[in-house]
């Protein structure tokens, strides 16, 4: 008499994980899990593009019309939402003392608008609080 076995939920889950890792690589799985954890940690807020680098700000880097290379890296925050969003606060690494200049704070940003944050810390996590929720971004 042949014995029939049915896969358990755990076995099916492990099989699916193995297939995803085989097809897309471990980074796909890691990014998917990281994204899920982030969505559980806070409600999904408006979308932004957050970058860290040497971005030129004419008001700071072009005294008297003579532009100079920026001496400090800055966070560039760009709104990707179709609706205007009022930014209430931006924090870096969960520490208010990391933010030296908070450009987007207390402003309304429309689609494509850019603002800058000058941080004295090396940013790993950026949290943006708005009138429509909050979003957290992780930088490498």
pLDDT per residue as tens digits for the range 24-57? 554 444 444 443 333 233 446 899 999 999 888 8
* Helix-helix angle 26-41:9-24, to 10 degrees: 120
Closest residue by Cα to residue 115 from 104, 123, 125, 105: 104
Instruction: Give the C-alpha separation, 81 to 111, whole Å.
Output: 5
In tens, the pLDDT along 77-110 reads 999 999 999 999 999 999 989 998 888 888 999 9
State the average pLDDT over residues 11-21. 56
Residue 136 — pLDDT band, cuts 50, 70, 90?
Answer: very high
Tell me what pLDDT residue 28 has.
43
Instruction: Give the C-alpha separation, 82 to 66, whole Å.
Output: 35
**46 contacts 81 by C-beta, under 8 angstroms:** yes
Instruction: Give the C-alpha separation, 90 to 49, whole Å.
Output: 13
Tell me what pLDDT residue 104 has.
87
Instruction: Give the C-alpha separation, 126 to 135, whole Å.
Output: 8
Q: Which two tokens stand for residue 131?
A: 């009138």
pLDDT averaged over the chain?
Answer: 77
**132 contacts 45 by C-beta, under 8 angstroms:** yes
Residue 19 — pLDDT band, cuts 50, 70, 90?
Answer: low
Q: Return the percentage of the chain with pLDDT > 70, whole number.
A: 69
SS3 (DSSP) at 16: helix
């Amino acid at each position: 008499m042949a014995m029939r076995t049915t896969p358990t939920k755990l076995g099916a889950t492990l099989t699916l994980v193995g297939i995803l890792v085989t097809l897309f690589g471990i980074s796909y799985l890691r990014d998917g899990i990281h994204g899920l954890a982030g969505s559980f940690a806070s409600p999904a807020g408006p979308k932004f593009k957050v970058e860290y680098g040497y971005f030129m700000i004419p008001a700071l880097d072009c005294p008297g019309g003579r532009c100079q290379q920026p001496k400090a890296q800055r966070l560039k925050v760009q709104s990707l939402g179709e609706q205007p969003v009022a930014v209430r606060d931006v924090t870096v690494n969960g520490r208010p003392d990391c933010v030296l200049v908070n450009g987007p704070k207390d402003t309304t940003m429309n689609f494509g608008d850019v603002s800058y944050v000058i941080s004295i810390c090396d940013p790993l996590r950026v949290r943006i609080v708005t009138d429509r929720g909050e979003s957290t971004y992780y930088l490498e």
